[in-house]
Amino acid sequence: MHVPFTIKAKDKLARTGALHTAHGIIRTPAFMPVGTAATVKAMTPEAVKSTGADIILGNTYHLMLRPTAERIAKLGGLHKFMHWDGPILTDSGGFQVMSLAKLRTLSEHGVTFQSHLDGATYELTPERAIEIQHLLGSDITMVLDECTPYPATKEQAANSMRLSMRWAERSKQAFTPRKGYALFGIVQGSIYPELREESCDALKSIGFDGYAIGGLAVGEGQEAMLSVLDYTVPLLPVGSPRYLMGVGKPDDIIGAVMRGIDMFDCVIPTRAGRFARAYTDEGERNMRNAQYADDAAPLQAGCPCPACTHYSRAYLHHLFKAEEMLGPMLLTWHNLTFYQQLMQGLRDAITGGRLQAFAQEFFVRYHTQSCDGDDKS
């Protein structure tokens, strides 16, 4: 492997370890804050680092449109461009082409689409996706795939998955191996066990540094998602990192870790922070809710983030009611801290052989109150 992966402890199917990349070590299980356009929204790189994050995610689709991968390369690469000195994983753009792009035309060669920004036409092939990620200097590069929409018939899912597997082989051929830099394959196949198995077999025959599970968190629901993990994860190489793409909520992450997943990314904590939603040990809070207008307590006692150590719930409520930009900044900082503390708790629990107890304790606290709901002021 070009990026050594060390498994340090196991608790049933869950494991904790370290992935060694060119720009540093990633402690697993790991949650990657999403920095789609070379920035984690409302956060400086220093603030992101302070939450405990080892790695962030960037995106091929967005960066190829603006400012372009070539421009970033001329300016010294993505790490220098955004002032982040840790590892970066870049998604190859397949999901964004499906969800954002206009007039998408799919072929064996690749995908032609119109930009959601200005309607300009672009082509993304497996080779071009790898080239862009090389120009960015990504520590972990993802193969180009078609993110199969949900729901899909078995025939649709099979055709989509097999195209992705052919693209995966071309992505591997285009990738330049070097120490500290990894290429991950992506398992597809929708909710069909035999298709997921066929996809795993194809990827293992090609050979990758790590294996992602894609095509989930697209509307299938948690029960179906966890079911896919139940029969897919055991098919993946034990000694390679496993990445569940686009997931998720705290419950999803814990359930996936218990099934052997090592890496996650999701926009939920940053997006929630921008819309006054706070994740706490006692569940979600809507900071626009009138019940916080006179609440002098910290958002969450014991949380080390600035939102909790320096400000009250009443102040956070005020910032959102006044539409001050500091509100989204502080709540994003808190949510990312909450997620990183969750990951540290999971790592510690696996090391101590008490993951089941940790999960039960978390769920009891987290579900003691329901989400605050809509603004009532």
CATH number at 233 reads 3.20.20.105
Residue written as token pair 């697993």: 28
Same domain, 215 and 308: no
Domain-terminating residue out of 225, 240, 266: 266
Same domain, 164 and 41: yes
Per-residue pLDDT at 338 exceeds 70: yes
Same domain, 262 and 290: no
- pLDDT for the residue numbered 372: 72
Contact 279, 362 (CB under 8 A): no
Per-residue pLDDT at 322 exceeds 70: yes
Does residue 293 sit within a domain? yes
Beta-carbon neighbour count of residue 102 at 10 Å?
Answer: 10
- pLDDT for the residue numbered 369: 59
Same domain, 59 and 161: yes
Lowest mean pLDDT segment, chosen from 60-64, 240-244, 363-367: 363-367
Over range 290-314, report the average pLDDT: 98
Same domain, 109 and 130: yes
Per-residue pLDDT at 317 exceeds 60: yes
How many domains is the chain partitioned into structurally? 2
Per-residue pLDDT at 191 exceeds 70: yes
Per-residue pLDDT at 94 exceeds 60: yes
Instruction: Provide the domain limits for residue 179.
Output: 5-266
Over range 36-54, report the average pLDDT: 98
Q: What tens digit of pLDDT does each residue of 195-252 get?
A: 999 999 999 999 999 999 999 999 999 999 999 999 999 999 999 999 999 998 999 9
Per-residue pLDDT band for 261 (boundaries 50, 70, 90) equals: very high
CA–CA gap between residue 134 and residue 141 (Å, rounded): 8
Does residue 243 sit within a domain? yes
Beta-sheet strands, E only, within the chain: 5-11, 14-21, 24-28, 30-32, 56-59, 88-91, 102-106, 111-114, 121-124, 140-142, 182-187, 210-213, 242-244, 263-265, 277-280, 283-286
- DSSP class of residue 178 equals B
More confident residue, 32 or 376: 32
Over range 303-316, report the average pLDDT: 98
Does residue 77 sit within a domain? yes
Per-residue pLDDT at 131 exceeds 90: yes
Per-residue pLDDT at 327 exceeds 90: yes
Over range 119-140, report the average pLDDT: 97
Per-residue pLDDT at 118 exceeds 80: yes
Burial class of residue 239 (count of CB atoms within 10 Å of its CB; 0-12, 13-18, 19+): exposed
Q: What tens digit of pLDDT does each residue of 143-157 get?
A: 999 999 899 999 999
Does residue 337 sit within a domain? yes
Does residue 374 sit within a domain? no
Does residue 230 sit within a domain? yes
Per-residue pLDDT at 111 exceeds 90: yes
| Catalytic, out of 54, 91, 252, 262 | 91
Same domain, 126 and 239: yes
Per-residue pLDDT at 374 exceeds 60: no
Domain-terminating residue out of 266, 284, 318: 266
- pLDDT for the residue numbered 355: 98
- pLDDT for the residue numbered 101: 83
pTM of the model: 0.97
Per-residue pLDDT band for 286 (boundaries 50, 70, 90) equals: very high
- pLDDT for the residue numbered 99: 86
Residue 295 annotated in active site: no
DSSP string, 204-265: HHH--SEEEE-S-SSSS-HHHHHHHHHHHGGGS-TTS-EEETT---HHHHHHHHTTT--EEE
How big is the CA angle at 39 (ends 37 and 43), to the nearest 5 degrees?
150
Return mean pLDDT, the chain.
96
Per-residue pLDDT band for 98 (boundaries 50, 70, 90) equals: confident
Contact 20, 13 (CB under 8 A): no
Per-residue pLDDT band for 1 (boundaries 50, 70, 90) equals: confident
Residue 361, token pair as written in the block: 């304790």
Does residue 348 sit within a domain? yes
Partnered with residue 53 across adjacent β-strands are none
The dihedral sign for the CA sequence 303, 306, 307, 312: positive
Domain-terminating residue out of 211, 237, 266: 266
Same domain, 220 and 334: no
| Catalytic, out of 11, 145, 209, 265 | 265
Residue 374 annotated in active site: no
Same domain, 148 and 295: no
